[in-house]
Structure 1
Amino acid sequence: MTNNLENSIGTFGKKWNQAEKLKWFEQQTIKRSYQNEVISKIIQLSANFDIVEYGALPVDEKRYPLFALKSKHWRSDKKTVLVTGGVHGYETSGVQGALRFLENEALTKANNHNPTYGELFNLIVVPCVSPWGYETINRWNPKAIDPNRSFYANSSAEESANLMTFISSINTEIIVHIDLHETTDTDNTVFRPALSARDAIEQKNWNIPDGFYLVGDTLNPQEHFQRAIIKAVEKVTHIAPADESGKLIGVPLAQFGVINYAAKALGLCSGLTDAKFVTTTEVYPDSPKSDAENCILAQVAAIKGALDFIISNANHIAQ
């Protein structure tokens, strides 16, 4: 999003109207290629996964088709896992982490003898929910709507509405949903000032956590599940410590590296299903202790940690 939006669009203290949202949209520019960085990788996975085009964004339907990848050998007796990335298009490692998991891990046999994740689970991976946001490096969609606050009935965010319709059409019970995100420095320098301008509500900045953390569901926290993911990820990257108030992004810690949000009430993607095990990952790409590749590896480790937990606790979960 363009810097200093609170000064360049609208009137201080008044919510943006449609003309001002359109002005914001017209200021956005293409900064990278969805075709080259995402679609091309999806196509390369077609030998091992079914590719489903479940819609397209009306801002440019040819440029922004929406894709999911599914296990080729779908079986009703296997548990179904959903992985989503790029709900906020500017959060790069979520998109690339979802793709990397499919490329390198989903069908690879551990130690050449263990079943693969693809053999044990039905996999649904939606690597880039918001492709316009990916190309323009935006949290919002073309209507200046946050897709990750828009997972509710009759959603006005096409990204969210299309995904909800697609998941509903599969008609299967999803046991795990992992939603891949980032928390960046621009959350304070760009997004929160823009949100303040759009809604005419003061937005207080928070301390950006230096490291990886998880956001669980307040009504379904699944502490052991979250802890297993943290343990898997800390082998790859550092876990964010709480700030001096014992919080992350203004929310009290539930446990080391984990906070909880009311997923469904807030319209979050993590509240999309009724999965028993749900989490949202957050990496910090601006950390001096990390880089883009490390963030991608952390996302992959989180997915694997979640699935390994389900495998290890299969008998208990089935009861």
Structure 2
Amino acid sequence: MDNSVRYAIGAPGIKWGATEKAEWLAQTTIKRSYLEQVVSKVHALSEKFDIEQYGALSYAPEKYPLFAIKTHHWDKTKPTVLITGGIHGYETSGVHGALAFLALKAEQYSADFNILVVPCVSPWGYETINRWNPNTVDPNRSFYANSPAEESAALMQLVQAQQTHFLMHLDLHETTDSDESEFRPALAARDGKEYIPDIVPDGFYGVGDSENPQDAFQKAIIDSVRHVTHIAPADSAGNIIGEPITQEGVINYPLKALGLCASVTDAEYTSTTEVYPDSPRVTDDECNMAQVAAIVGALEYLKQHQ
């Protein structure tokens, strides 16, 4: 898509109002089942972990309960870590990578860490394969006081309810071809701005915090993931998604200033993982396992440096 192509909704240069937002919502459809594909897997973990429902989305509470999974026997002397997925519901391996970590790896780290996992923060987005919620709000730009996204507000309340310091937070994401074909053009149209195309990175990359980058921690994640999938190269300008790389496969964002999920705990160690599921070089399972490898690499680093 180039700059001359109009998004199907709205007029160029004019922010969306209620009419355009309603038109956008009307063209969304349910494409998969959160209850069947996600909640069933959560309940299947109930013998190994503590399952907590921390809320439900008002759009359809019976369809969109919100679940957190915790390792047994929390110990205040152990560091606590948070894993989140599905902030953007369309980013599938974030959800199923978090669930795979619970099924395959979490128990072996429970002696060293209290582990809290929220596999799908945005279940409506999961079902409609969408970045936004029904109100055209991006939950991953909404982690601040009086959040306009109930998905974000519910997660912030869950974090506060733990009444503990978090050492680490990994937020599991994907960068997809649809970012350029749909979601960034929609964002530009919604905000009345010009859409400027970018290049979708071919491979995995991570996003650290520009205010607290933790370069060695980010490298440990990259080195773990490279055993599962390829690492995204920088473009000809030395950037990934418009940001300069700080090392192979890593860029930094000001997490708190942008209202990003990875800022929600004020943890010392944070990273947003970005898997590329549209590469012909990967399978869905490899994408899920790349997320698992990112978590394992992060936890192994913490075990060695705490």
Tell me which interval the TM-score lies in, with the shorter structure as reference length. Answer: over 0.9
Decide whether the 8 Å contact of 1:6 with 1:194 is kept in 2.
Answer: no
1:303 pairs with 2:295:
yes
Match of 2:249 in 1: 257
Q: CA RMSD in A?
A: 1.0
Amino acid at match of 2:64: Y
Q: Cα deviations across residues 156-213 of structure 1 (Å, max 9, x unaligned)?
A: 1010011001111111100010000000001101011111111111131211110000
TM-score, scaled to structure 1? 0.93
Which secondary structure state, in structure 1, belongs to the residue aligned with residue 131 of structure 2? Answer: coil
Match of 2:31 in 1: 31
Match of 1:125 in 2: 117
Following superposition of structure 1 onto structure 2, how do residues 59-138 of structure 1 map, counting pairs within 5 Å? 59-107=59-107, 116-138=108-130
Mean Cα deviation higher: 213-222 or 15-24:
15-24
1:170 pairs with 2:162:
yes
Match of 1:248 in 2: 240
Poorly superposed stretches of 4+, deviation over 6 Å: none
Q: Cα deviations across residues 85-112 of structure 1 (Å, max 9, x unaligned)?
A: 00000000000000000001111xxxxx
Q: For residue 7 of structure 1, report the CA deviation from its aligned partner.
A: 4.3
Following superposition of structure 1 onto structure 2, how do residues 1-319 of structure 1 map, counting pairs within 5 Å? 6-107=6-107, 116-314=108-306
Q: For residue 8 of structure 1, report the CA deviation from its aligned partner.
A: 3.3
Q: Distance in 2 between matches of 1:10 and 1:245?
A: 33
Q: For residue 6 of structure 1, report the CA deviation from its aligned partner.
A: 4.8
Which secondary structure state, in structure 1, belongs to the residue aligned with residue 272 of structure 2? Answer: strand
Q: Cα deviations across residues 125-168 of structure 1 (Å, max 9, x unaligned)?
A: 00000000000000000100000000010001010011001111
Q: Which runs of 5+ in 2 are unaligned?
A: none
Q: Distance in 1 between matches of 2:21 and 2:223?
A: 42
Identity of aligned residues (%): 58
Q: Which runs of 5+ in 1 are unaligned?
A: 108-115, 315-319
Which secondary structure state, in structure 2, belongs to the residue aligned with residue 8 of structure 1? Answer: coil
Decide whether the 8 Å contact of 2:89 with 2:126 is kept in 1.
Answer: yes
Q: Distance in 2 between matches of 1:282 and 1:11?
A: 32
Q: Distance in 1 between matches of 2:299 and 2:45?
A: 21
Amino acid at match of 1:288: P
Number of aligned residue pairs = 302
Amino acid at match of 1:241: P
Decide whether the 8 Å contact of 1:214 with 1:258 is kept in 2.
Answer: yes
Q: Distance in 2 between matches of 1:192 and 1:83?
A: 26
Match of 1:113 in 2: none
Q: Distance in 1 between matches of 2:299 and 2:123?
A: 27
Decide whether the 8 Å contact of 1:6 with 1:196 is kept in 2.
Answer: no
Q: Cα deviations across residues 38-94 of structure 1 (Å, max 9, x unaligned)?
A: 000000001111111111111111100111001121111110010000000000000
Match of 1:110 in 2: none
Decide whether the 8 Å contact of 2:85 with 2:98 is kept in 1.
Answer: yes
